[in-house]
Amino acid sequence: MHITRDSLIKLAKDTVEKRFAHDTKVTAVFLTGSLRPENAVVESASDVDLLVLHNGELAREREIIKLSNEYHLDISYEDVRLYSQPRELRGDGWRGWVMWDPILLSQKGRFFEYTQSVVRSQFDEPTNILKRARYFTQLARETWSECFMNPEEASPYKVLTAAFNAANGLASLSGPPIPERKLLAEFPERANLLERSNLIQTLFASVSNSVSVDTIRQWVPAWENGFKAAAQSPGDLRLHSARLAYYKTALESQLSSELPRAALWPMLHTWSLAAENGNFNDVQTLAWATACSEMGLDPAARQERLQALDSFLDNLEEMMEQIESDNGL
């Protein structure tokens, strides 16, 4: 069967009709993520992102539904009260963009029309752009401070999470945040848009030391093995077994791109998350420790990652202060 954007959206609509359309506690359901644009390219493995806004106590925050080995539904559940102040959403790094251009699949009343109209008003004002950027930079700086003050607790996952938020602090100055799988692949374009190409290498240095593409390729089987171990009882649904092909496709695609080092991100981000999940055997633990040593995420080299991240954040914070000054804020 040839999978198209239309066929995936139809699956999403069918799911909404069966599960949510007649639920009185569901205020609205949206299609979000990469399938929104009409010209979206459907990758050989992908997810279909749904956001369910719920009125009342949530039974769960996230759900993964496998459609095939290559495709799955990724359903997020949120309390509708988080969207009750649309003016505040203009400065929310994630929810502001969610309300900017989702595909509405179901709603009660006219919640969406009102909320979106308010969010879009003044959305591109410098003060709101800076709020969205600072949403991420503050998270990054807080995690950096924790790691700096308590080096023994500076796990690879914490360091990489801080780098993710720092990168999206810059990305938010020119558009929406970069999605999880494609951080290093899409960051250079965002940095160039802002004439900050000097920060590209700094971000890469925040994630890993300089490693060859061959080294990255050599670690793919061990990474996959670790992912499968964590997926047996995932404490985080990002490690659900249905998402293995989703990440592996991104990794392989980026390895074959003009910027193959970008593949470090989907590998290291998910591998570090799997390591924190606590399901590794001795062989998998050793493989992860060896990879960390080669890629500069071990305790001996982690300080270099934090120094690069500090430099990145210093540059970004100065940049935002200049934007404030230029706009009289």
| Residue 321: inside a domain | no
Cα separation, 9 vs 36, whole angstroms:
9
Residues 69 and 154 placed together within one structural domain of the fold: no
Residues 116 and 142 placed together within one structural domain of the fold: no
| Residue 90: inside a domain | yes
**What is the distance between the terminal CA atoms of the chain, rounded to a whole angstrom?**
55
| Residue 324: inside a domain | no
pLDDT tops 60 at residue 70: yes
Q: Which of 120, 140, 160 is the last residue of a domain?
A: 120
Residues 155 and 81 placed together within one structural domain of the fold: no
Residues 25 and 95 placed together within one structural domain of the fold: yes
Q: State how many domains the chain has.
A: 2
Q: Which of 83, 100, 120 is the last residue of a domain?
A: 120
Residues 90 and 135 placed together within one structural domain of the fold: no
Query: What's 56's domain CATH number?
Result: 3.30.460.10
Confidence (pLDDT) at 1: 55
pLDDT-above-70 percentage for the chain: 100
Cα separation, 163 vs 157, whole angstroms:
10
Residues 137 and 284 placed together within one structural domain of the fold: yes
Alpha carbon separation from 32 to 94, 114, 322 (Å, rounded): 11, 18, 33
Give the residue-averaged pLDDT of 217-225. 97
Give the residue-averaged pLDDT of 239-251. 95
| Residue 325: inside a domain | no
pTM of this structure: 0.95
Range of the domain at 229: 126-315
pLDDT-above-90 percentage for the chain: 87
Residues 72 and 188 placed together within one structural domain of the fold: no
